[in-house]
Amino acid sequence: MIEVTGATKSYGDLRVLDDVHLRLPRGGVTALIGANGAGKSTLLSCMSRLLHLDAGAVTVDGLDVSTTRGDVLARRLATLRQDNHLTARLTVRDLVTFGRYPHSKGRATADDLVHVERSLRFLDLEDLADRFLDELSGGQRQRAFVAMVLCQDTDYVLLDEPLNNLDLKHAVAMMRLLRRAADELGATVVVVLHDINVAACYADHVVAMRDGVVVHEGSPEQVMQTHVLREVFDLDLRVHRIDGRLVALHVA
């Protein structure tokens, strides 16, 4: 379980997280949604100890992320930020192999290499495995980073907008993959998503944020309602049920 208590974070005068309390049980896919600047990414970064809170605490299975040893957490929780720019020239396989670092400390065993190959296959990267990252498109690179994170083989996977740069086909593949990671491998997946329809379709649990506060949380059915979405996005969105799925129309 990830437990956030009283999380507060400011940049200068701007309070990006304002006393956030949140409990995310183990298993399943949780989507963090909200407008730009609502604090989703900051919350995710704080949960994964990439940012330090000004006040409050985050625990993962009872371990406080700000005090637990880095390598202990790295075997439990993997995370990926939105923009990952590398100056180092690495091959896709090198990068994915680094995902095993918390387990192998740089001396990859046969078991580690099995994980690497599986991740490459999962993300449809086998043909690109020996290419350098700077020779790939943005979407291919994004998949390589996700492959690295999955290769870490952790109970918790926290991703900030993993659909960035992905075309429709790979975006769908990515969400299905995260679904499988939760269903088959028992991982707890937390993703920041822009598209509420994607969130409604693939997540078990939706957390909606606005101005640094969690304004709603619940199942997709509970969140995908016109009055809730108005509160989150300041937009009147009509929600339809199409082929059994909830879809909010935001183009009309």
Partner 1 sequence: MVVAAVGVLAVVSLFVGVSTVTPATLLAQDAQALLVLLVSRLPRTLAVLLAGAAMAVAGMIMQMLARNRFVEPSTAGTVESAVLGILVVTVLSPGAPLMVKMLVASTFALAGTALFLRLLAFVPLRSVLVVPLVGLMLGGVIGAVTTFFAYRLDLLQSLASWTTGDFSGVLRGRYELLWITLALTVVAYLAADRFTLAGMGSDLTTNLGMSYRTVMTLGLVIVSMVSAVVVVTVGVIPFLGLVVPNVVSLMLGDNMRRTAPWVAVLGAGFVLVCDLVGRVVRHPYEVPVGVVVGVVGSALFLALLLRRGSRAA
Residue ranges binding partner 1 (CB under 8 A): 48-50, 69-75, 78-81, 84-91, 94, 98-99, 101-102, 105-106, 132, 149, 152
**Which lies closer to partner 1 via its Cβ, residue 69 or residue 227?**
69
d(CA 155, CA 186): 7
Q: Name the token pair of 2.
A: 């990830």
Nearest-approach distance from CB 119 to partner 1, in angstroms = 14
Nearest-approach distance from CB 185 to partner 1, in angstroms = 18
Going by C-beta distance under 8 Å and a sequence separation of 6 or more, which residues neighbour residue 44?
A: 32, 79, 158, 160, 190, 192
**Which lies closer to partner 1 via its Cβ, residue 80 or residue 175?**
80
Give one DSSP letter per residue of 17-38, joined into a string: EEEEEEEE-SSSEEEEEESTTS
**Which lies closer to partner 1 via its Cβ, residue 105 or residue 227?**
105
Nearest-approach distance from CB 111 to partner 1, in angstroms = 18
**Which lies closer to partner 1 via its Cβ, residue 77 or residue 248?**
77
d(CA 22, CA 209): 11
**Which lies closer to partner 1 via its Cβ, residue 38 or residue 80?**
80
**Which lies closer to partner 1 via its Cβ, residue 71 or residue 183?**
71
Decide: helix, strand or coil at residue 52: coil
Nearest-approach distance from CB 137 to partner 1, in angstroms = 16
d(CA 233, CA 211): 11
d(CA 39, CA 247): 24
Nearest-approach distance from CB 179 to partner 1, in angstroms = 22
Going by C-beta distance under 8 Å and a sequence separation of 6 or more, which residues neighbour residue 94?
A: none
Nearest-approach distance from CB 79 to partner 1, in angstroms = 5
Alpha helices per DSSP H over the chain: 40-47, 70-74, 92-98, 101-104, 110-122, 138-151, 168-183, 196-202, 220-223, 226-233
Nearest-approach distance from CB 96 to partner 1, in angstroms = 12
**Which lies closer to partner 1 via its Cβ, residue 10 or residue 82?**
82
Going 245 to 249 to 251 to 252, the CA torsion angle's sign is positive
The identity of residue 207, as a single letter, is V
